[in-house]
Amino acid sequence: MPLTSRDVWTKPTSEINRRSVLRGPGGLLDQLEDPRPQVRRWAVRDLSQFSEAVKPLLTCLQRENDPGVRESIFTALLLIGNEKVARGVVALLKSDDAGLRNGAFDMLMEMPPFAGLVIPDLLADPDPLLRVYGVELVRRLQPPNTVEWLSAMINREDNENVLASLIDCVAALSLNTLANKVGSITSKSGFVNFAMQHALARLSMEKG
């Protein structure tokens, strides 16, 4: 008889039993397919103990419709909390599902060391929306490479929405070292130019 998801919390597992718990008939991965949300939720909770469960949990997350199970998956992934998780949730930022996008962003916010590993990829992504997410993560987490990353981005960015986010980030973080770069931005967009003038005025006031 295979272990149930509740048994995992109380029974020690050898490596052989560990594989059985995950992949055996009726194991935790099978329970992710169960039609009953409560069974799926318990399976997800127990899978948080298995670092090798990242991929199946991410796959499950993209098809899961039950809010409680979804929340449990995000929690399980956060508990596993490694680079693979961070890189996996980045893909969810491209989802058409706002709940998945918001959940993925919130997860990255909760794991700064691993978020720092994916921020450079986000800032250089061909999709402007992902670059905006990258800028927002920089603004909120303020990683050690903040000035370097934003400076390089100012040099190459041409999307007006990303530029506006970038300029706002520089002003919000009071990065006076980047004021000259912000002032050198040329754009035909009134939106960007307004953001630039507002940012420069704010930086000048804070500089005193």
Query: Is the model's pLDDT at 18 over the cut of 60?
Result: no
Cα of 180 vs its chain's centroid, Å: 31
Q: Band the pLDDT of 7: cuts 50, 70, 90.
A: very low
Comparing 88-92, 145-149, 165-169, 188-192, which segment has the lowest mean pLDDT? 188-192
Q: Answer whether residue 8 is part of any domain.
A: no
User: Residue 22 corresponds to which tokens in the numbers above?
Assistant: 């995950």
Q: Evaluate whether residue 154 is within a structural domain.
A: yes
Residue 20 has pLDDT above 70, yes or no: no
User: Would you say residue 32 lies in a domain?
Assistant: no
Q: Supply the pLDDT for residue 22.
A: 64
Rounded to the nearest 5 percent, the helix, strand and coil shares of the chain are: 75, 0, 25
The total of structural domains in the chain comes to: 1
**Within-domain flag for 190:** yes
pLDDT at residue 70 tops 90: yes
Asked if the structure places residue 168 within a domain, the reply is yes
Q: Is pLDDT above 80 for 8?
A: no
Range of the domain at 192: 145-208
Whether residue 113 lies inside any domain: the answer is: no
